[in-house]
Amino acid sequence: MGIIVQKFGGTSVGSVERILNVANRVIAEVEAGNQVVVVVSAMGKTTDELVRLAGEITSNPSKREMDMLLTTGEQVTISLLSLAIGQKGYEAVSYTGWQAGIQTEAVHSNARITNIDTTKVKQRLEEGKIVVVAGFQGATVDGEITTLGRGGSDTTAVALAAALKADKCDIYTDVTGVFTTDPRYLKSARKLHSVSYDEMLELANLGAGVLHPRAVEFAKNYSMPLEVRSSMEAEHGTIIEEEVSMEKNLVVRGIAFEDQVTRVTVCGLPNGLHTLSTIFTTLAGNGLNVDIIIQSTTNVDTTNISFSVKTADLDETVRVLEENREALNFENIEHEDGLAKVSIVGSGMISNPGVAAEMFQVLANNEIQVKMVSTSEIKVSTVVEQASMVKAVEALHDAFELSVEEKQEVKA
Cβ 39 to ligand ASP shortest distance, Å: 9
Is residue 151 near ligand ASP by the rule CB under 6 A? yes
Binding partner of residue 101 among Mg ion, ligand ASP, ligand ADP, none, CB cut-off 5 to 8 Å per kind: none
Binders of ligand ASP in range 297-336 (CB under 6 A): none
Q: Report whether 314 contacts 249 (CB < 8 A).
A: no
Could you give the CA distance from residue 362 to residue 398 in angstroms, rounded to a whole number? 10
Is residue 41 near ligand ASP by the rule CB under 6 A? yes
Instruction: Name the phi and psi angles at 106, rounded to 5.
Output: -85, 65
Cβ 37 to ligand ADP shortest distance, Å: 17
Cβ 9 to Mg ion shortest distance, Å: 5
Binding partner of residue 150 among ligand ADP, Mg ion, ligand ASP, none, CB cut-off 5 to 8 Å per kind: ligand ASP
Pinpoint the alpha helices (H) of 32-62.
46-57
User: Nearest to residue 87, comparing CAs of 20, 28, 134, 7?
Assistant: 20
Q: Report whether 228 contacts 177 (CB < 8 A).
A: yes
Tell me which of 47, 71, 180, 388 binds ligand ASP, using CB under 6 A.
47
Chain residue at closest Cβ approach to Mg ion: 151
Binding partner of residue 208 among ligand ASP, Mg ion, ligand ADP, none, CB cut-off 5 to 8 Å per kind: ligand ADP
Nearer to ligand ADP, 151 or 348 (CB): 151
Q: Report whether 350 contacts 329 (CB < 8 A).
A: no
Cβ 208 to Mg ion shortest distance, Å: 11
Q: Report whether 369 contacts 342 (CB < 8 A).
A: no
Expressed in angstroms, the distance from the first to the final Cα of the chain is 43
Binding partner of residue 184 among ligand ASP, Mg ion, ligand ADP, none, CB cut-off 5 to 8 Å per kind: ligand ADP
Q: Where on the chain is the footprint of ligand ADP (CB under 6 A)?
A: 9-12, 41, 151, 173-175, 178-179, 181-184, 208-210, 254
Q: Report whether 402 contacts 408 (CB < 8 A).
A: yes
Nearer to ligand ASP, 136 or 179 (CB): 136
Binders of ligand ASP in range 123-142 (CB under 6 A): 135-136
Q: How many CB atoms lie within 10 A of CB 408?
A: 21
Nearer to ligand ASP, 44 or 101 (CB): 44
DSSP letter string over 99-164?
TTTEEE-S-SSSPPEEEE--HHHHHHHHTTPEEEEETTEEE-TT--EEE--TTTHHHHHHHHHHHT
Cβ 230 to Mg ion shortest distance, Å: 14
Is residue 73 near ligand ASP by the rule CB under 6 A? yes
Q: Reduced to 3 states, what is the DSSP secondary structure of residue 348?
A: helix
Instruction: Give contact residues for ligand ASP (rule: CB under 6 A).
Output: 9-10, 41-42, 47, 73, 135-136, 150-153
